Amino acid sequence: MSENRVRRVAEQIKKDVSYIIGAEIKDPRVAEITSVTDVELTRDLRYASVYVSIYGTEMEKEETLQTLARASGFIRSEIGRRVRLRYTPEISFYLDTSIEYGAYIESVLKSLKKEENSDNDRTREDN
């Protein structure tokens, strides 16, 4: 199957799953700030790995991930109604920590820059 088609279908599934999580799942165990960051499809379009970023505590993240896994049947049926495919893909949810990791790296870089600026200030005072 064409890589281009797989990519287009994955992007459409990403949009639809984002909408379904945000607007149609009313479960209070799903964290309010849950976003779909990526969808990877197999070449035969039968399996989809959905990566979600969840803002909250570790317990909230785990609970949200479990709730999404339990709701995967509902989400799959909604995808089947929205995206016309011969087979609706089986959906698996995975936690994406790349946004948190990026924020951590940014904070480390800021602290290094502060240290560097304070070291430069001390050096100037010594001269």
Relative to beta strand 47-54, strand 90-95 is parallel
Verify that 65 and 118 share a domain, yes or no. Answer: no
pLDDT above 90 (res 112): no
Query: What are the structure tokens assigned to 50, written together?
Result: 């959905």
Percent of the chain with pLDDT over 70: 92
Verify that 86 and 104 share a domain, yes or no. Answer: no
Q: Domain of 68: which CATH number?
A: 3.30.300.20
Verify that 57 and 116 share a domain, yes or no. Answer: no
SS3 content of the chain, % helix, strand, coil (to 5): 60, 15, 25
Verify that 79 and 122 share a domain, yes or no. Answer: no
Shortest CA distance to 47 belongs to which of 81, 96, 82, 85?
A: 85
Q: Quote the mean pLDDT of the chain.
A: 89
pLDDT in tens, 55-73: 888 999 999 999 999 999 9
Report pTM: 0.79
Query: What are the structure tokens assigned to 84, written together?
Result: 């016309």
Query: What are the structure tokens assigned to 12, written together?
Result: 């459409």
pLDDT range class, residue 103, cuts 50, 70, 90: confident
Verify that 103 and 119 share a domain, yes or no. Answer: yes
Q: What range does the domain containing 35 cover?
A: 3-96
pLDDT above 70 (res 126): no
Verify that 76 and 123 share a domain, yes or no. Answer: no
How many domains does one find in the chain?
2
